[in-house]
Amino acid sequence: MTAPPKPRVLVDCDPGHDDAVMLVCAAAYADVVGITTVGGNVGIDRTTRNALAVCELLGWDVPVHAGAARPLLAEPSDARHVHGESGMDGATLPSPTRSAGTDAVGFLLDATRAEEGLWLVPTGPLTNVALAMRADPGFASRLAGICLMGGGALGGNVTVAAEFNVHADPEAAAIVFGAPCPVHMCGLDLTHQVTVSPAFVERLRTIDGPASRLCAEVAEAAMARYDGVASAAALPPLHDPVALLAVTHPQLFHRRRAPIHIELEGALTRGATLVDRRTATATGARLVHDQITTRWVHDVDAAAALDLIVDACRAWS
């Protein structure tokens, strides 16, 4: 039996440890049209260099285009306390031998005008995507859908209410979650189901290829960061690959149509993603209907997702 075609995907990311693992999975399981970068985990120069370096490691000749360095309105923030000054502290990457383009938004618009039905997988702040929607109101309508890592139905990690990617640019998130195409939210309540462990690292180490070494280093860096910070039972999640796998292996996921609102105000709630799990309002108005474009992705077969990450690494052994 012939294998089904790989989904055609645009990736918008801010590498970042878990973005690097996501790119390994994208190289294995998707037909990636291009990569755009955004300032997020670290500044735009670093995220772009890291994306190019992962491509260099894999021998992967896919276009890379740098995008927004700062949010639409918010003050810039980053996650250097998590990913280190380089964004990839603890991981060994080669120096890139090629340069990135400098117009991520233009690239996204050109790609969707040339080919409708692409998936867009953003795993960083949503600034580039919002700018593309502003520049061309038809942009999102040309996509098959947007499957993003961000938000959460049960609270945040930067604040009690807000997850990093949405909190970094809430105004951009509000634009993107209002897109006319399907928008699938892979939030913290989902990604925390896919965690790394010493046993997972050992599986990667037995492969001994460039991708497996990178992913093992990422997992070890994550575990070192969690050691002494979280409870003894806690294991660090791999956020960003989950959003990519939700496109390439949708059968592993459970999702439901639900309104999702972005909070733009409040000292404690700015950047929160409010998933309305009601079926109707108190007055009886239906909340779940065909016009709702947002999907809450809420459960995953975590063991199968980890197996796919290991198998993606084998493709580069």
User: How far, in Å, CA of 296 to CA of 282, rounded?
Assistant: 22
User: How far, in Å, CA of 272 to CA of 158, rounded?
Assistant: 10
pLDDT at 285: 77
> What CATH number has the domain spanning 8-314?
3.90.245.10
pLDDT at 1: 61
268 exposed, middle or buried (CB, 10 Å; 0-12, 13-18, 19+)? exposed
Which residue out of 17, 239, 254, 289 is catalytically annotated?
Answer: 239
Computed from CA positions of residues 188, 194, 195, 196, in that sequence, does the dihedral angle turn out positive or negative? negative
User: How far, in Å, CA of 106 to CA of 67, rounded?
Assistant: 9
Q: pLDDT-based confidence at 230, cuts 50/70/90?
A: very low
pLDDT of 261 strictly over 60: yes
User: How far, in Å, CA of 242 to CA of 160, rounded?
Assistant: 22
Mean pLDDT throughout 231-246? Answer: 85
Check: pTM over 0.85? Answer yes or no: yes
pLDDT at 279: 78
pLDDT of 112 strictly over 70: yes
Q: Partners of 37 in the beta sheet?
A: 13, 66
Q: pLDDT-based confidence at 288, cuts 50/70/90?
A: low
pLDDT of 229 strictly over 70: no
- Percent of the chain surpassing pLDDT 90: 88
Four-point Cα dihedral 287, 290, 293, 298, nearest 10? 70
- Residue 157 tokens, joined: 């990690």
pLDDT of 3 strictly over 80: no
Residue 38, CA distances (Å) to 3, 140, 284 in order: 33, 18, 42
User: How far, in Å, CA of 28 to CA of 33, rounded?
Assistant: 13
User: How far, in Å, CA of 246 to CA of 193, rounded?
Assistant: 13
Mean pLDDT throughout 226-248? Answer: 80
Instruction: Please say if 239 is a catalytic residue.
Output: yes
33-43 burial: b if 16+ Cβ within 10 Å, else e: bbbbbbbbbbb
Residue 249, CA distances (Å) to 47, 48, 252, 292, 309 in order: 26, 27, 6, 23, 12
pLDDT tens per residue across span 156-200: 999 999 999 999 999 999 999 999 999 999 999 999 999 999 999
pLDDT tens per residue across span 140-154: 999 999 999 999 999
Q: How many residues belong to the chain?
A: 317
Write out the DSSP string of 267-285: TTTTTBEEE---SB-TT--
Q: pLDDT-based confidence at 232, cuts 50/70/90?
A: very low
pLDDT at 149: 99
Residues whose CB is less than 8 angstroms from the CB of residue 274 and which lie 6 or more positions away in sequence, other chains included: 260, 261, 262, 263
Mean pLDDT throughout 122-127? Answer: 99
pLDDT at 316: 82
* φ/ψ (deg, to 5) at 41: -55, -40
Q: Partners of 180 in the beta sheet?
A: none
Report the first-to-last Cα separation within the chain, whole angstroms.
25
pLDDT tens per residue across span 239-254: 999 999 999 999 999 9
User: How far, in Å, CA of 211 to CA of 208, rounded?
Assistant: 8
Residue 237 DSSP symbol = B
User: How far, in Å, CA of 108 to CA of 305, rounded?
Assistant: 28
